[in-house]
């Protein structure tokens, strides 16, 4: 499975692509979309949208993982971050990618083992888990961590979904105490 992780931001949007085969993770690429601050908001969002589309075209991921927006003390900043995240969601949806969303707490817990880990800890664990020669930039590391989180969580989620389908199938066949199918 090839996973595209996105760490949305209006000034800097990180992206990271990994291949996951079972528990084995392999780095493909990562980077940061730097959005010129002097552009009008609509054009800034278009930069994010266009660049994520390019990343998808160049790397052909099967699935994507996106960090959820957190509410901070500044409502205006939260709103702007939400708009950047919306541009990323649109690019992923337009590319027909299934999007999985994770909170920063889920991502850090999955990658570092501590939901309140510092950025530096996330960077070092991403470096270790992907056997990178150097420390990835903060935005790239966060995006890669999002992809790693999905690689860790998705196998269990799929097993749970299958077991739920099996239980639902059994329930559908048992109706009023009789086996119906």
Residues with active-site annotation: 7, 67, 139
CA 14 to chain centroid: 10
Q: Is 179 exposed, middle or buried (0-12, 13-18, 19+ CB in 10 A)?
A: exposed
| Rounded distance between C-alpha atoms, residue 64 and residue 93, angstroms | 10
Residue 177's contacts (CB-CB under 8 Å, 6 or more residues apart) are: none
- Helix (H) / strand (E) element for 8: namely none
Contact (CB, 8 A) for 104 and 70: yes
| Rounded distance between C-alpha atoms, residue 150 and residue 125, angstroms | 15
What is the DSSP-derived secondary structure letter of residue 59? H
């Amino acid at each position: 499975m090839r996973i595209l992780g996105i760490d949305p931001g209006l000034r800097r949007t990180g992206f990271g692509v990994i291949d996951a085969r079972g528990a084995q993770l392999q780095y493909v690429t990562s980077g940061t979309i730097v959005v010129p601050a002097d552009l009008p908001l609509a054009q800034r969002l278009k930069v994010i949208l266009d660049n994520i589309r390019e990343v998808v075209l160049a790397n052909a991921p099967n699935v994507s993982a996106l960090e959820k927006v957190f509410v901070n003390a500044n409502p205006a900043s939260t709103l702007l971050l939400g708009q950047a995240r919306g541009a990323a969601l649109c690019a992923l949806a337009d590319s027909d990618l299934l999007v999985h969303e994770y909170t920063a707490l889920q991502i850090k817990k999955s990658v570092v083992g501590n939901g309140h880990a510092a950025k530096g800890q996330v960077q070092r664990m991403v470096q270790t888990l992907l056997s990178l020669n150097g420390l990835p930039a903060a935005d790239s590391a966060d995006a890669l961590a999002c992809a790693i989180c999905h690689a860790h969580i998705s196998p269990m989620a799929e097993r749970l979904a299958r077991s739920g389908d099996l239980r639902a199938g059994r329930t559908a066949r048992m109706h009023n105490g009789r086996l119906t199918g």
